[in-house]
């Protein structure tokens, strides 16, 4: 089975690495689309730094929204484990990615053992745009909180005003039930994700949580739209001081979600080489780019349109690694579930760095 291709031609891995290194060495502004575990991310960022490139995650659009909640505002948060143990009132906000449904259902199947220890009640704050979310809400027997024709941020705004005792423009279904639930729950928790809505809506939600904390306690659980993307953001933060979208100029990192939006850079021909990673596999690079592409993808065939394709494994499946997990809200060491020969991103990136002129090893 081939693991490396130049164009559509299978080649030995060393040839693919040599060819890819040539492209990297001659690039004036390479851009990196990341999709790997912590160690793959560390090596890729180190390579981007060496080459003066820029990077973002494959799920960069929704990640940027999540990052913006923090860079613009901040908020009050708790960990998934604490919510499970302490919260008897859980409010699902908008759309929560399918990957997290099992976690929420596990909470639904357990009883809080700290705090008020009441049987858990679920609500669901709904906007016109959240359609998929209803399925989850039904499974959790969540009581809907919303109003016909109102978007999620609007519902949150109305709810916030209503809870503050202000007169509200629209009536929300079940707001009285929710008020009542708040009076008995000692640690209500709002569960949200980057998929829940635009940053402004997430900021409004944090305003609501802050209001509740004036007299009682409340918090929120952030379930990232994509765990691996959030892990990449955290790794990027300690390595460079910045979340993605970050680029290097004069070897210093700079964070600028507009300037270093990789898709934009490709469209506007600011970038001249795209290193695209997809360890989850089954993905294709975004269209629209006319610049050369190096693909590091979990695949058994060459990536269409790529000058070079190198097949890589995924941490936790093909090899051991470290990934962010929403189960614990932090990093977890993951073991290979089905160990394979597929190389890790970090080993391929390490080989690329070694094949560059100067032959220096990467610091990661």
Partner 1 sequence: MLIRLTGGDVVDPVNAATAKRDVWIRDGLLVDAPKGATADETHDVSGCIVMAGAIDIHSHIGGGNVNTARLLLPEHHRAHQPRPANTPLSNAGWSTFQTGTLYAQMGFTTVVEPAMAPYTALHTHLELADIPIIDKATLAILGNDDFTLSLLRNGKSSAMLDDYVAWVIGSTRALGVKVINAGAAAAFKENVRSFSLDDTVPEYGVSSRKIVKSLQASVTRLGVPHPLHVHANNLGIAGSADTAAATIAATEGVPLHLAHLQFYGYGTEGKRKFSSEAARLAEAVNANPDVTIDIGQVMFGQTVTISSDVMRQYLAIGNASPKKTVILDGDGNGGGGIVPYRYKQDYYGSLQWAVGLELFLLITDPWRVYFTTDHPNGAPFTAYPELFELLMSSNARDAKSTELNATALGLTTLASVRREYTLEEIAIMTRAAPAKLLGLKDRGHLGAGAIADVAVYRKGRDIAKMFREAALVFKNGDLVVKNGKVTHYRWGKTLRLNPPPDKAMVKRMQAYHEERYGLSLDWFTFPDSAIQRPDPFAEVIS
305 Cα distance to chain centroid: 26
Subset of residues 106 to 145 that bind partner 1, contact rule: CB under 8 A:
106, 110, 113-115
Nearer to partner 1, 11 or 353 (CB): 353
Q: How far is the CB of 152 from partner 1 (least distance, A)?
A: 22
- Give just the sign of the alpha carbon dihedral 90, 94, 99, 105: positive
Q: How far is the CB of 342 from partner 1 (least distance, A)?
A: 17
How many residues does this entry show for the chain? 364
Place of tokens 């097949």: 311
Which listed range, 13-21, 153-161, 216-224, 306-314, lies at the site for partner 1 (CB under 8 A)? Answer: 216-224
216 binds partner 1, rule: CB under 8 A: yes
Nearest 10 degrees: Cα torsion 348, 352, 353, 355 = 140
Q: According to CB under 8 A, which one of 19, 193, 240, 278 is a site residue for partner 1?
A: 240
Cβ count within 10 A of residue 280: 15
Rounded to a whole number of angstroms, the minimum distance from the CB of residue 86 to partner 1 is 6
Among 242, 248, 260, 276, binds partner 1 (CB under 8 A): 242
Contact assessment for residue 158 and residue 172, using Cβ atoms and an 8 Å cutoff: yes
Which of 55, 122, 123, 187 contacts partner 1 by CB under 8 A? Answer: 187
CA dihedral (94, 97, 102, 104) positive or negative? negative
Q: Which is nearer to partner 1, 196 or 326 (CB)?
A: 326
Separation of alpha carbons 86 and 66, rounded Å: 25
- 284 belongs to the binding site for partner 1 (CB under 8 A): no
Count the site residues for partner 1 by CB under 8 A: 57
What six digits make up the tokens of 332? 């977890």
With binding defined as CB under 8 A, does residue 190 bind partner 1?
no
Choices 164-172, 261-269, 298-306, 321-329; region in contact with partner 1 by CB under 8 A: 321-329
With contacts defined by CB under 8 A, name the span among 19-27, 57-65, 193-201, 325-333 that binds partner 1: 325-333
Which residues, including other chains, have CB under 8 Å from residue 139's CB and lie 6 or more apart?
101, 105, 108
What minimum distance in Å lies between the beta carbon of 301 and partner 1? 29
The CA angle 93-99-100, to the nearest 5 degrees, is 45
Of 165, 238, 288, 338, the residue at the interface with partner 1 (CB under 8 A) is 238
CB of 183 to partner 1, least distance (A): 13
**What are the backbone angles phi and psi of residue 308, rounded to the nearest 5°?**
-140, 135
- In DSSP notation, 182-211 reads HHH-SS-EEEE-GGG--HHHHHHHHHHHHH
Residue 199 sits in the site that holds partner 1 (CB under 8 A): no
| Cβ–Cβ < 8 Å for 110, 83 | no
Q: What is the dihedral of CA 355, 358, 363, 364, to 10 degrees?
A: -10
Residue 107 corresponds to which tokens in the numbers above? 């909470």
Task: Scan for tokens 């990077």, then name that residue.
Answer: 55
CB of 116 to partner 1, least distance (A): 9
Report if residue 339 touches partner 1, rule: CB under 8 A.
no
Site residues (CB under 8 A) for partner 1, limited to 36-95? 38-39, 42, 67, 70-79, 81-82, 84-86
> At a CB cut-off of 8 Å and minimum separation 6, what does 198 contact?
65, 153
Nearer to partner 1, 32 or 324 (CB): 324
Give the closest residue to 194 by CA, choosing from 65, 351, 51, 328: 65
- Please, what is the minimum distance in Å from the beta carbon of residue 327 to partner 1? 6
The residue within the footprint of partner 1, chosen from 99, 129, 327, 354 (CB under 8 A), is 327
**Which CB atom, from 237 or from 356, has the smaller least distance to partner 1?**
237
The binding site for partner 1 (CB under 8 A) comprises 38-39, 42, 67, 70-79, 81-82, 84-86, 106, 110, 113-115, 186-187, 213, 216-217, 219, 233-235, 237-243, 252-255, 320, 322, 325, 327-333, 346, 363-364
């Amino acid at each position: 089975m081939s693991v490396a291709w130049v164009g559509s031609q299978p080649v030995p891995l060393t040839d693919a690495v040599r060819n890819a290194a040539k492209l990297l060495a001659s690039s004036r502004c390479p851009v990196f689309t990341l999709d790997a575990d912590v160690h793959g991310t560390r090596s890729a960022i180190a390579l981007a730094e060496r080459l003066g490139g820029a990077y973002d995650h494959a799920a960069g659009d929704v990640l940027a929204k999540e990052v913006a909640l923090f860079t613009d505002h901040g908020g009050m948060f708790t960990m998934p484990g604490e919510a499970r143990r302490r919260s008897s009132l859980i409010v699902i906000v908008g759309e929560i990615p399918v990957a997290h449904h099992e976690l929420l259902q596990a909470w639904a199947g357990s009883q809080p053992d700290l705090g008020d220890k009441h049987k858990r009640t679920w609500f669901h704050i709904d906007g016109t745009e959240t359609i998929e979310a209803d399925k989850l809400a039904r499974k959790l027997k969540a009581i809907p909180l919303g109003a016909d024709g109102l978007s999620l941020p609007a519902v949150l705004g109305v709810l916030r005003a209503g809870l503050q005792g202000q007169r509200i423009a629209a009536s929300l279904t079940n707001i009285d039930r929710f008020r009542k639930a708040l009076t008995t729950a000692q640690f209500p928790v709002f569960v949200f994700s980057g998929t829940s809505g635009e940053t402004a809506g997430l900021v409004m939600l944090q305003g609501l949580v802050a209001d509740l904390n004036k007299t009682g306690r409340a918090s929120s659980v952030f379930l990232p739209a994509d765990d691996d993307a959030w892990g990449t953001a955290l790794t990027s933060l300690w390595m460079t001081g910045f979340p993605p979208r970050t680029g290097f100029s004069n070897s210093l990192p700079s964070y600028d979600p507009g300037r270093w939006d990789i898709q934009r850079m490709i469209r506007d021909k600011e970038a001249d080489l795209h290193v695209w990673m997809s360890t989850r596999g089954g993905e294709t690079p975004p269209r629209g780019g006319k610049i050369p592409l190096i693909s590091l993808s979990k695949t058994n065939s060459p990536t269409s349109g790529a000058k070079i394709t190198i097949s890589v494994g995924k941490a936790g499946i093909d090899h051991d690694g470290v990934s962010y997990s929403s189960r614990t809200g932090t990093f977890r060491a993951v073991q290979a579930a089905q160990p394979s020969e597929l190389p890790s991103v970090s080993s391929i990136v390490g080989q690329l760095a070694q094949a560059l002129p100067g032959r220096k090893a990467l610091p990661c």
